[in-house]
Amino acid sequence: MYKLSTASKPWYLLLNMNLFTKTLSTPKTLIDQKNFLDNQDNFLLGEEVHSKVKKLFKGSLAIRVVTAGSTNACEQELVALGNSYYDVERFGVHFVASPRHADMIMVTGPVSRNMKEALIRTYEATPDPKIVVAVGDDAINGGIFKGSYAVEDGAKNVIPVNYQIPGDPPSPKQIISALLSILDDIDIKKLKPNI
């Protein structure tokens, strides 16, 4: 019987063997169910956000995310807010496709020259009062792209920015915490009489 040596095996067989070996040797990285159920921090934080959303936005905060030339790191963290672990929808926070339905705009990325006009149009299409949040270091001041000819060095150089969430990228928990701080600030400003 003819046996194939490793050198004469087709590349796809070697690749499959390597993948199979790696799969079996990789340690378990899932969250332990006990730790998952015991972790109430996210739920308590979300409940605080929910009470503020009920008070300020009649139960539903609609957010429009504008990806303005980012590396997708911040978007991945924003997408994680919708997974079953964080599930911000249960707290009244919704991501919408149209700026005309949005209460808040979250901008990610350093605002590339090609996205400048789109960001301005999104800002103009959002109903008043406009709440703009720069998410991540790139959106705040250009981050690692600062000074490049291809970017505007952050959202504040294109549209007025009310709040910032620093990080490269900020974690979902940091985003929820910052969202609570933003809602607290909006609540305080609504209570103050106009002078």
In the prediction, which pLDDT does 67 show? 93
Instruction: Judge whether residue 158 has pLDDT over 80.
Output: yes
Q: What gap in Å lies between CA 80 and CA 99, rounded to an integer?
A: 21
Q: Mind listing the pLDDT tens digit for each residue in 88-114?
A: 899 999 999 999 999 999 999 999 999
Structure tokens belonging to residue 70: 């980012």
> Which CATH number applies to 40-191?
3.40.50.12280
Structure confidence by residue, pLDDT tens digits, 35-88? 555 556 777 888 888 889 999 898 899 999 999 988 888 999 999 998 888 888
Q: What's the pLDDT at 195?
A: 43
Mean residue pLDDT of the chain comes to 83
* Residues sharing a CB contact under 8 Å with residue 124, sequence separation 6 or more, in sequence order: none
Q: Are 78 and 65 within 8 A, CB to CB?
A: yes
pLDDT at 144: 86
Residues 6+ apart with CB under 8 A from 74: 108, 109, 135, 136, 138, 139, 169, 170
Token pair recorded at residue 102: 């949005």
Q: What is the band of 190 on the pLDDT scale with cuts at 50, 70, 90?
A: confident
Asked whether residue 180 carries a pLDDT value surpassing 80, the answer given is yes
169 prior amide bond cis, ω within 30: yes
